[in-house]
Structures are given as structure tokens and as C-alpha cells.
Amino acid sequence: MPTTPEARRPLKSRDLAIFKNIASALARAGVSPNAISFTSIVFGLAAGGCFALTAHAEELALRGWWLAAAAFIQLRLIANLLDGMVAVEGKRGGPTGDLWNEAPDRLADAAIFIGAGFAAGSDPLLGMGAALLAVFVAYLRALGASNGAGQIFIGPMAKPHRMFVTTVFSVASALFPALAGFSGMKLLLALVIVGCIVTAIRRLSRIAASLRSKSA
């Protein structure tokens, strides 16, 4: 988790009382931000596993796995939110905070999209492509910060956007299982891939402009 407010992604959910209370309770209980960050890997693996299980389930179970995948994606995002809140607002950040903020997130991204590639009506190659590009987009954000361009969170397929569209599709698939028959997951992963490519181009352009301005 970033240990300074300016390094964090701007999120309105950080101001919600429920998350403030949970973060305060975790800080008082002595839970470390790094431990919270680690849980995002667990939730990411669980979401990916649920996606993969949709390819082997009957209708009732199929709906349950789609909903479970959506729930685990949201739990992953909540873990991402709370680790920073405990570190910054709870003043429990440490020297390895940035490391633990990045590494678990990349594993969670990969697990979710690789699992989505094995979901009902999906394609493993698309899942792996989406996972690779999701990690690359996050790498560019970190690259911008390391080169003095600051944390560049622009989309259209930054992490919250990726997780939003994947969650929406998962819930829609639970409500309308026929989506898998229409290769809905393939379309979703294609959307993520195209969005990540556009995002990568925008972030690279922003970093390049920053570097040029510093050398002028």
C-alpha cells in the first residue's frame, strides 16, 4: 500500500463511514497493511477459480459460481482499499508497504483474468492476453512514478474499470446464463484487452510528455 496520500489512487469509497470504521478496527486490532494486501491474492485466486468452475457446472451451480466470482472480485478491491487506509490513516505503514501494494495486486489481476479465460464460453488465450496487459498497464503506472511523472491512474481500463466490467458481466451471467453460449466472456476479455491497449498508449504518452518537459 502506498504510505503517502498523494501516491494513492483517488477513491470516493475511502470517505465512506463503513470503510473508515473497518480500517480503524483493523488498525486497533494490530492487523498489518501487508497482511491485508496479501488477502487480495487469496480473493483473486478464488475469483479465478470460480470463473473456471463455470465451465463444468449445471445451471443452478453455474449461477452460484458467477456470483461468487463477482463477490471475490469486490472483496479483492475492498482489501486494496483497506490496506492503504490502515497504512495511512491508521499510521501503520512500513518500509515494505509499496512493495506489498504492487506484488499482490499483480498476482490477483493475473489470477482473475487467467481464470476468466477458462470460464464457460471463454478462451484461455484471451484470458492470458487480458492478464498480461492488465499487468503491463499497472507496470506503466509504476514506471511513471519511478521516472518522476507521478502516479498515472488514467484509463479507460485502469484497475477499477477492469474490475467493474468483469463484476458486471459476472452478475449478468448469473442472471442470464445464456450469455456464456453467446461467447459473452470472450467479448468481455476482448473489451479488457482493447481498453488496456488504449490505456497503455495514454499512460506512455503522459510519461513521455513529462520526461520531455523535464529535459526542456
pLDDT in tens, 76-125: 999 999 998 898 776 666 666 677 778 899 999 999 999 999 999 999 99
Query: Using CA atoms in the order 163, 148, 32, 105, what is the torsion angle rounded to 10 degrees?
Result: 30
Give me the phi and psi of 18, to 5 degrees please.
-60, -40
Question: Would residue 32 count as lying in a domain?
Answer: yes
Q: What is the pLDDT of residues 164-188, one digit of tens each?
A: 999 999 999 999 988 876 788 999 9
Q: Is residue 163 part of a domain?
A: yes
Structural domain contains residue 3: no
Question: What is the pLDDT, as a whole number, of residue 3?
Answer: 47
Residue 67 lies inside a defined structural domain of this protein: yes
* CB distance 128 to 139 below 8 Å: no
Q: Cell numbers at residue 88, please?
A: 495511512
Instruction: Return the CATH number at 23.
Output: 1.20.120.1760
Q: Are 11 and 23 in contact (CB under 8 A)?
A: no
Q: How many domains does the chain have?
A: 1
Residue 90's pLDDT is 63
Residue 107 falls inside a structural domain: yes
Question: Which residue range forms the structural domain that includes residue 68?
Answer: 12-215
For residue 200, count other CB atoms closer than 10 A to its CB: 16
pLDDT at 97: 65
Could you tell me the sign of the dihedral formed by the alpha carbons of 200, 206, 207, 209, in that order? positive
Q: Is residue 144 part of a domain?
A: yes
pLDDT digit string (tens) for 131-149? 999 999 999 999 998 888 8
